Chain A
Amino acid sequence: MAASKTPLSGGNSTWSRVAHSADFRKLLASKKAFVLPATIFFVVYYFALPVLVGYAPDLMQKKIIGPVNLAYLFALSQFAVVFIITYLYVRAARRFDKASARILAEAGQASGKDN
């Protein structure tokens, strides 16, 4: 049923070989090095909007371009931030895909199994 009961689990399996390989630990580290700062950045940037709008209303109502105020431009910039982070993540993830394909290939060869 659940894949937790597949024959892959167990002491000296492909799972644990992969888990303890240096390449896999490196993959986890490089994922974390991207995902953690990116997440912190977008969360902070996002909440800056309602916080500033709520608690610095004079600043946010300053007209910047014609009748358009800072609050609206800041809101629009959130869209740009989403698109940019998405682009950067997709680019970084290509690297992760390559690394994980290599890890799986090595693990598969070592065990003689085709996983």
Chain B
Amino acid sequence: MTFTLVLFLAFIAVTLGITAWASRRSGSSASYFAANRQISAWQNGVAVAGDYMSAASFLGIAGLIAFFGYDGFMYSVGFLVAYLTVLLVVAEPLRNIGKYTMADVLAYRLHPRPVRAMASLSTLVVSTIYMIAQMVGAGALVALLLKGSGINYQTAVVGVGVLMIVYVVFGGMIATTWVQIIKAILLMAGTVLLSTIVLAHYGFSLSQFFNDVAQVHYHTPDGKEVVKDFFTPGLRYKPPYGALDLLSLGMALIFGTAGLPHILVRFYTVPDAKTARYSVVWAIGLIGCFYILTTFLGFGAATIVGRDFIAKNGGNNMSAPLLAQALGGSVFFAFICAIAFATILAVVAGLTISASTSFAHDVWTNIVRHGKEHDAGEERRVARISAFVVGAVAIGIAILLGPTANVAFLVGLAFAVAASANLPVILFSIFWKRFNTGGAVIGLASGLIGAVVLISLGPAIMAVDPPTVVGAARHLIQRPAVFPLENPGIISIPLGFLGAILGTLLTARDPEAEEKFTELEVRANTGLGSEKAVAH
């Protein structure tokens, strides 16, 4: 265990060093919020991949595949295909139109204050719920990984929270970017290594590996031994609603990614739209390789370690580290654990900066101050304070919920809100001339409310637990679910689009917004007038 701790500390030392270096270069808003827009294509691509491949990907998907086979792999597919939406539709126009936040795109030709208020609310909701999910996971994980070193759940949550606040408050976007890059490189290295060892275990014979995957042995909770073909769909998503739920999940994944504020802000860190495009290409390459390799991590854990052993030793989130332990001993286990830790830290830092940027830029500067800083550096100061507050709140909620809290649905909720509220209004702002302020506000509201309400009425919140389930692991409402699906996307995404369309058609035309559409079209497609990189 001490070796894990040494690796943790090494990562913390390196990232704090970067933060110190970055803090001397974060003397302007463009550098603090957008790294001077000087991040190169490969750097930003790696950072996007780093921001995206959360603990939910590395540990969560490996665990889902280890436990449910094919159904877990569906996440891998959806998470990657999502990037085509980012590449083809969102990244380049966003880079050309906006400045620091997603709301910039909406505010360009609509009434800025109501639109920014709603967009910022949606940004804060998505980032905060995503962050709480990461923090609870992080605390439980770090406590588990460092078992015996005296670090418990609370200490781990506070530690992760304080580090992310330090990165963001002192290092801004420059430090956050480099933390992502280092983490993504570590994560890829660990994944490739682990996959290679799994293959080596099977004498580099895919057919032997796949033969084992087709007959995985484990025991059901009532003690019966079963043999399952893990290529078979439906082990997790069962009838009658499983197929629909999987479809709904897929919608949230492929339309939600292009609405995730912490991914979108990354495209403001590059000099121009062309670089934004190439950074998506880099991200697709990395993310694609990673998710293909989840085959080896997940199925490998199922065949080599086995579901029974994983269930007894920390649960499905521990599948990848336990696989490393089984194949490479305690040193490799420590290495993979350290990577998981780096993964969580980097992602929460990315979420914190997107939330605090939105509050400082959208709410404070543009709504409260009507678009003008009262004194130079005010926007940065507000961002630093809000990063601190966001971090403190996330720490508090994560401690309150405790390590056993049932928070897996929060990541799903974040994607569902992003897909239902954010994506429709981004698309209409860029592509629909008639789109107006009423449409944006109603679209954002209906997507946001739709996703939250349907999740609340669904099986993630409402279910009758047996008395053996105790404390925070119990469902919030002990009643049968009203809405049968875990994933609300299939209803809430159309609802978001419908809200935006009806809101537009039922309110008066906005000639100014329509006139400015021409300008936006030119800017989005040629980069004329877009924010430029800052020279040193």
* B-binding residues in A (CB < 8 A): 1-4, 6, 8-9, 14-16, 18-19, 24, 27-28, 31, 35, 38-39, 42-43, 46-47, 49-51, 53-55, 57, 60-61, 66-69, 71-72, 75-76, 78-79, 81-83, 85-86, 89-90, 93, 96-97, 100, 103-104, 107, 115
Contact = CB atoms under 8 A, between A and B. Distances in A.
A103 to B, nearest CB: 6
B233 A39 contact: no
Interface residues of B, dominant DSSP: helix
Nearest to A3: B529
17 contacts: A3-B523, A15-B528, A18-B526, A24-B522, A42-B84, A47-B250, A50-B250, A51-B243, A54-B242, A57-B234, A66-B211, A67-B211, A69-B232, A72-B231, A75-B77, A78-B81, A100-B527
Nearest to A74: B77
A78 B161 CA distance: 37
B277 interface: yes
Contacts of A90: 277-278, 281
B247 A51 contact: yes
Contact of A43 (B87, B229, B243, B254): B254
A67 B112 contact: no
B99 interface: yes
Contacts of B529: 3, 6, 8, 15, 115
Contacts of B254: 43, 46
A35 to B, nearest CB: 5
B292 interface: yes
Interface in B223-252: 229, 231-234, 242-244, 246-247, 250
A61 to B, nearest CB: 6
Given A3-B531, A53-B234, A79-B77, 11 more contacts: A3-B108, A19-B522, A24-B522, A24-B526, A46-B81, A53-B246, A57-B233, A57-B234, A61-B233, A78-B80, A79-B291
A55 B88 contact: no
B247 A2 contact: no
A60 B246 CA distance: 15
Contact of B526 (A1, A4, A85, A100): A100
Contacts of A53: 74, 233-234, 243, 246
A29 to B, nearest CB: 11
Contacts of B89: 35, 39
Given A79-B77, A82-B84, A86-B87, A2 B233 contact: no
Contacts of B531: 3
Interface of B: 70, 73-74, 76-78, 80-81, 83-85, 87-89, 99, 104, 107-109, 112, 207, 210-211, 213-214, 229, 231-234, 242-244, 246-247, 250, 254, 274, 277-278, 281, 284, 288, 291-292, 365-366, 371-372, 516, 518-519, 521-523, 525-531
A50 B247 contact: yes
Contact of A78 (B77, B214, B244, B530): B77
Nearest to B517: A19
Contacts of B81: 42, 46, 78, 81-82
Given A19-B522, A24-B526, A100-B526, A79 B74 contact: no
B281 A86 contact: yes
Contact of A66 (B70, B207, B366, B519): B207
B247 A104 contact: no
| 6 A-B pairs closest in CB distance | A54-B243, A67-B214, A1-B371, A100-B526, A19-B518, A53-B233
B486 to A, nearest CB: 14
Contacts of A68: 210, 214, 231
A50 B284 contact: no
Contacts of A43: 254
Contacts of A8: 519, 528-529
Contacts of A50: 74, 243, 246-247, 250
Nearest to A104: B526
Nearest to A76: B292
B456 to A, nearest CB: 24
A4 B109 contact: yes
A18 B531 CA distance: 18
Nearest to A21: B522
B103 to A, nearest CB: 10
A98 to B, nearest CB: 11
Contacts of B288: 79, 82-83
B80 A35 contact: no
B182 to A, nearest CB: 25
Contacts of B516: 4, 9
